[in-house]
Amino acid sequence: MLKTDAASVMGAAGCEPDHRQERIELAAAFRWTARLNMHEAVANHFSLALSDDGSRFLINPNGRHFSRIRASDLLLLDAGDPATMDRPDAPDPTAWAIHGAMHRNVPQARCVLHVHAKHATVLASLRDSSVPPIDQNTMRFYERIAIDDGFDGMGLGDEGERLSRCIGNHNLLVLGNHGVLVVGATVAQAFDTLYYFERACETLITAYMTGKELRIASDEVARKTAQQWAEYPDLAENHFRELLAILDEEEPDYRS
Ligand SMILES: [Zn+2]
Ligand SMILES: [Zn+2]
């Protein structure tokens, strides 16, 4: 059944190579996100561009729990194909609207991760969704996030177009009243950003809950620390390689 779905997707797009490595990496990101409980029910989506222009991309099938996604389950879509939502295996409509627009319009969006992770969503629910630099993790995002303040219902209309403008040249967009969206050059880089942003938000929200005054670093220190994060060698790659090694041992079916 799963193999048939994958085969029909390949057939529809012509004689495609199977993009096995990209499928494995994206499947691993779903599995680990489920372990971290950053997903929500069977909503939320991860996608990965395959073509140079980003128009062809992999994304999760509609209604599948992150913890069960396999490499062969991922849909291969064309952001320029108006018949996509007529397919028998059509993706979730908001996935199509938001991720299609991201892959069409945002050059740095090779991998797009969108979740309603608990602490990032609490941040998105505050009037002020900015992230003051109070620890190393929050400083990673200093001057490096965009905030969407235009929530207008579920992403079914031109929500995706608005969000793809709003993110600008940043890699992280706080979706006000909604959640978070991260983009990156690779699955490893996008996942690392998502992981550390949720950690940063967890610390910030917990600090807010104490009611005590925050210890906010100077602009100079925050900016320097953000740059050190950006230049730190192989951070995302080392992180993601270890996650794959654990999955290979404990739930290797994600590769199938
Ligand atoms: Zn969402
Ligand atoms: Zn999405």
Distance 94 CA to ligand 2 centre (A): 7
**Which among 180, 186, 208 has a CA at the least distance from the CA of 114?**
180
- In tens, the pLDDT along 135-180 reads 999 999 999 999 999 998 887 778 899 999 999 999 999 999 999 9
Q: Name the domain count of the chain.
A: 1
Distance 221 CA to ligand 1 centre (A): 33
Note the ligand closest to the C-alpha atom of 94.
2
In a domain, 10, yes or no: no
Q: What is the pTM of this model?
A: 0.92
DSSP 21-36: HHHHHHHHHHHHHHHT
In a domain, 1, yes or no: no
In a domain, 8, yes or no: no
For residue 199, the model assigns a pLDDT of 98
For residue 155, the model assigns a pLDDT of 72
In a domain, 5, yes or no: no
Distance 116 CA to ligand 1 centre (A): 6
Q: Domain residues for 184?
A: 17-255
Distance 45 CA to ligand 2 centre (A): 4
pLDDT in tens, the chain (256 residues): 344 444 444 434 444 578 999 999 999 999 999 999 999 999 999 999 999 999 999 999 999 999 999 999 999 999 889 899 999 999 999 899 999 999 999 999 999 999 999 999 999 999 999 999 999 999 999 999 999 999 988 877 788 999 999 999 999 999 999 999 999 999 999 999 999 999 999 999 999 999 999 999 999 999 999 999 999 999 999 999 999 999 999 999 999 9
Distance 102 CA to ligand 1 centre (A): 14
Distance 100 CA to ligand 2 centre (A): 9
In a domain, 11, yes or no: no
**Cα–Cα distance list, 215 to 132, 137, 208 (Å):** 9, 14, 11
In a domain, 56, yes or no: yes
> Which domain CATH number covers 60?
3.40.225.10
For residue 156, the model assigns a pLDDT of 79
In a domain, 7, yes or no: no
In a domain, 9, yes or no: no
